[in-house]
Amino acid sequence: MAEEMKCVCGGPGVGEGGKKRVLFPCSGASNTGQISNHAAVRLAQEGFGILACTAGIPIRAPATMDKVEKGEEMVAIDGCPVACARKVLEQQGITVGQHIIVTDLGIKKTGELIPSEEEIEKVVDAAWSSS
């Protein structure tokens, strides 16, 4: 008998101040894109919000849209000024409450894919200080 597949994604995390935040990293193919993803994971682990699938937005994936519906603030974490995560959300009519751009924090975009702990922490700190 086949087991039914269920999403274990969970609902929006409740961060400081009781705000239900949903985190959308760009996860791009550069160091800054990977920093955005690692920072979003760390923020979710710290209770800042809950991680959501940015790629699920344009296809209106049910689990992702459920998080959006239950969330109070959408947080886009982009690696660079192209702002793919923010644009994906906005193109679907979703308002971004907090927008972080990794390169705006003094981190240079390169082709490397392994981010440093220091760079990840810089983005995490920016999110907490902007909330």
CA distance 96 to 87: 9
3-class DSSP state of 55? helix
**Where are the domains positioned within the chain?**
13-130
Q: Does residue 8 register a pLDDT over 50?
A: no
pLDDT category at 111 given cuts 50, 70, 90 is confident
Reply yes or no on whether the pLDDT at 6 is more than 70. Answer: no
Q: Give how far Cα 103 sits from Cα of 10, 57, 89, 108, 109, Å.
A: 30, 24, 20, 6, 7
Where does residue 101 fall: left (phi above 0), alpha (psi -120 to 50 degrees), or beta otherwise? beta
Residue 23 has pLDDT above 90, yes or no: yes
| Portion of the chain with pLDDT greater than 90, in percent | 82
In the CATH scheme, what architecture does the domain 13-130 have? 3-Layer(aba) Sandwich (3.40)
- Helix (H) / strand (E) containing 8: none
pLDDT mean across residues, the chain: 90
CA atoms 56, 59, 60, 63: torsion sign: negative
Classified as helix, coil or strand, 28 is: coil
Residue type, 81: P
Please say if the pLDDT value at position 43 is more than 50: yes
pLDDT, mean of residues 51-80? 98
For the segment 101-108, the average pLDDT, to the nearest whole number, is 98
